Amino acid sequence: MQIAIVLYPDFTALDVVGPYEVLGRLPGAEVVFVAEDPGLVRNDQRSLVVSPEATLDEVTNPDIVLVGGGPGSRLQLDDGKLHEWLRAVDRTSTWTTSVCTGAPILAAAGLLRGRRATTHWAAMEVLARFGAIPVHDRVVVDGHYVSGAGVSAGIDMSLMLAGRIAGDDVAQMVQLIIEYAPEPPYAAGSLDVAPESVVERARAALAR
């Protein structure tokens, strides 16, 4: 089972590393990080560099496709090589998935038209612009498309997918191995509960 995780400049690390930690532990999993061009890819905080194992041209038939988000996703909305690749591999993939603002990339490629999907709370209108149906849920499944909301939701999305692929027992085993039992010290993880002052600071930070 080949799992292709897409990298591009200014990606958010947890968007792809969280799902990698979960899906890479499934029986028979072969994870490959792919990018449009060979060479190192730097994340949005500029301090993490990942070397993709293959270019898009070298991965033609993955079972699972995962596109993470990040500030760099804004530069991946125009039709081009990545979109062509996504449309091609989506024809045979068992699952095409996204985390955070990876969903607008799938939508811009034409894969989510008329489909329900979620993304980071600050990017919901981008989904709608490309014909997807925005849903304010943490994980959304529509056909063979699975989307996770912002950043940390990629772990939830991947655990749900792990259960579908390998069964609940295996998914729970992986959850225990990575000790995923969130107990955040603050109630500020969504627009529904975050104080307005925190929301304003977050919007300003994202705008920068």
Tens of pLDDT, residues 36-70: 999 999 999 999 999 999 999 999 999 999 999 99
Residue 65 contacts residue 93 (beta carbons within 8 Å): yes
Q: Averaged over 117-136, what is the pLDDT?
A: 97
For 63-75, write each residue's pLDDT tens digit.
Answer: 999 999 999 999 9
Looking at the domain 2-183, which fold is it? Answer: Rossmann fold (3.40.50)
100 part of the active site = yes
Q: Is the pLDDT of residue 28 over 90?
A: yes
Query: What is the pTM (predicted TM-score) of this model?
Result: 0.97
Q: What is the pLDDT of residue 94?
A: 98
What would the DSSP string read from start to end of the chain?
-EEEEE--TTB-HHHHHHHHHHHTTSTT-EEEEEESSSS-EEBTTSS-EE--SEEGGG----SEEEE--SGGGGGG-SSSHHHHHHHHHHTT-SEEEEETTHHHHHHHTTSSTT-EE---GGGHHHHHHTT-EE--SSEEEETTEEEE-STTHHHHHHHHHHHHHH-HHHHHHHHHHTT-----SSS-SSTTTS-HHHHHHHHHHHH-
Residue 160 contacts residue 139 (beta carbons within 8 Å): yes
For 149-173, write each residue's pLDDT tens digit.
Answer: 999 999 999 999 999 999 999 999 9
- Distance (Å, whole) CA 17 – CA 167: 22
Q: What is the pLDDT of residue 47?
A: 94
Residue 166 contacts residue 26 (beta carbons within 8 Å): yes
Q: Is the pLDDT of residue 21 over 90?
A: yes
Strands 116-117 and 139-142: unpaired
Q: Is the pLDDT of residue 24 over 90?
A: yes
Residue 110's Cβ-side half-sphere holds a number of Cα atoms within 13 Å equal to 11
For 61-113, write each residue's pLDDT tens digit.
Answer: 999 999 999 999 999 999 999 999 999 999 999 999 999 999 999 999 999 99
Dihedral sign, CA of 134, 161, 4, 154? positive
Average pLDDT value for the chain = 97
CA 142 → CA 21, 78, 191, distances in Å?
A: 24, 24, 24
CA 133 → CA 61, 91, 111, 113, distances in Å?
A: 27, 21, 12, 8
Q: Averaged over 15-24, what is the pLDDT?
A: 98
State the residue for tokens 């993880």.
189
Catalytic residue among 16, 34, 100, 105: 100
Q: What is the pLDDT of residue 198?
A: 96
For 203, the token pair is 């919007």
State the residue for tokens 């498309």.
145
Q: Is the pLDDT of residue 208 over 90?
A: no
For 178-204, write each residue's pLDDT tens digit.
Answer: 999 999 999 999 999 999 999 999 999
> 137: pLDDT confidence band, cut at 50, 70 and 90?
very high
